[in-house]
Amino acid sequence: MEKKIDLSIPEKLYYKIGEVSQITGIEPYILRYWESEFKIVTPMRTNSKQRLYRKKDLELILEIKKLLYEEKFTIAGAKKKLQRMKARREEQLKLAFPEKKYRDALLQVKKELENLHGLLS
């Protein structure tokens, strides 16, 4: 069973890379590298190209840190583990909403909310 990381992340909508670095203990250059390696780490960008991370990005970064530094996964191994975790969450969603039309509707609503969120930032 996967363990949820629960560090005290300040409640904000967005975090700049320096704040993320301070909260996670990961240097900014490593965060930028992980962004290129782990395509699921996708901070939003301002017009001036500044990275803005969301809380879910921080949680993901902390999970990657745990996999790489504590559990000693390779980057390739961590990618596979994260993919398996995502597949498991999707399977749980299927179990919670067995009818395809409801699951698809929820996924569509989620996608639309993410698009709106991107437009508002």
Give the model's pLDDT for residue 65: 97
The answer to whether 61 and 26 have CB atoms below 8 angstroms apart is: yes
Q: CA 15, CA 61: separation in Å to the nearest integer? A: 13
78-119: per-residue pLDDT in tens?
999 998 988 888 787 777 766 777 777 888 888 888 888 777
Q: CA 52, CA 42: separation in Å to the nearest integer? A: 9
Cα three-residue angle 107-57-3, rounded to 5 degrees: 85
Residue with tokens 């191994």: 77
Does domain 15-85 fall under CATH 1.10.1660.10? My reply is yes
Q: What are the sequence ranges of the domains in the chain?
A: 15-85
> pTM of the predicted model, to two decimals?
0.69
Indicate the SS3 state at residue 45. strand
